[in-house]
Amino acid sequence: KNEVEQSPQNLTAQEGEFITINCSYSVGISALHWLQQHPGGGIVSLFMLSSGKKKHGRLIATINIQEKHSSLHITASHPRDSAVYICAVGGTSYGKLTFGQGTILTVHP
Amino acid sequence: EAQVTQNPRYLITVTGKKLTVTCSQNMNHEYMSWYRQDPGLGLRQIYYSMNVEATDKGDVPEGYKVSRKEKRNFPLILESPSPNQTSLYFCASSRTGKISPLHFGNGTRLTVT
């Protein structure tokens, strides 16, 4: 079993829909990162969480440390949100980073 | 502009020919790290550095070397590249290696024939 599991692996939505991507991990962590990668593009950091909830525009990220689970929500999705979303956890051994497999999101107009 | 710069963006080489991929950041970050991304395997950490002269292995260090002689630079060295090192490589930095947002370079696509 991977240390970091994302679901779903693929997600297709219509413009305007509310989207949730989940990330579960099995190890103790110092922080959890949500990353975005557009096709052929680089990687952008969306959020870094160690507790609670963060919001940036239409994106919301939450983490439940006790349940070892995080979610990334996109409200009012748009075709430009189409990308791969990657969860990454920083372990309690600072410096090491473990990644989920990524969720491929496609938003149709 | 705050950025992480990787060079080159694309590189095609032959088995056994030593190469270096450079990574430089202008944000005075303590932490730098290298990752490779492969289809079906996702991103995996190769090496990381918590500060100058402090480097540690990630999950897939075999066949790679790094050095951190100065804060801004963290080159990735392939002494004898092999075809299984064909991959997309990313460098990243953050203020510390603990709880800080990551800044990624644009990636280097390496092909070893």
Is residue A62 within 8 A of residue B19, CB to CB? The reply is: no
Within 8 A of A102 by CB-CB distance, chain B residues are 42
Q: Residue B73 carries which side chain, given as an amino acid letter?
A: N
Which pLDDT does position A27 carry in this prediction? 81
Task: Mark which residues 47-66 of A lie under 8 Å from B by CB.
Answer: 48, 50
Alpha-carbon distance of A53 to A63, in angstroms, equals 6
Using omega within 30 degrees of 0 as the cis cutoff, is the peptide bond preceding A39 cis? no
Q: What is the mean pLDDT of chain B?
A: 95
Average pLDDT over residues B57-83: 97
pLDDT level of residue B77 (50, 70, 90 thresholds): very high
CA–CA distance, A21 with A7 (Å, rounded to integer): 6
Percent of chain A with pLDDT over 70: 98
Q: Is the pLDDT assigned to residue A93 strictly greater than 80? A: no
Distances (CA, A) of A105 to A84, B3, B43, B47: 6, 27, 17, 29
Is the confidence at residue A1, as pLDDT, over 70?
A: no
Percent of residues, chain B, with pLDDT higher than 90 = 92
Pseudo-torsion of CA A101, A64, A96, B42, nearest 10°?
A: 0
Q: C-alpha distances in angstroms, A75 versus A49, A91, B90? A: 19, 29, 29
Interface of B with A (CB under 8 A): 31, 33, 35, 42-45, 48-50, 56, 58-59, 90, 92, 96-107
Q: Write the pLDDT tens digit of every residue in A28-77.
A: 888 999 999 998 879 999 999 999 999 999 999 999 999 999 999 999 99
pLDDT of residue A91: 82
Q: What is the largest CA-CA distance in chain B?
A: 39
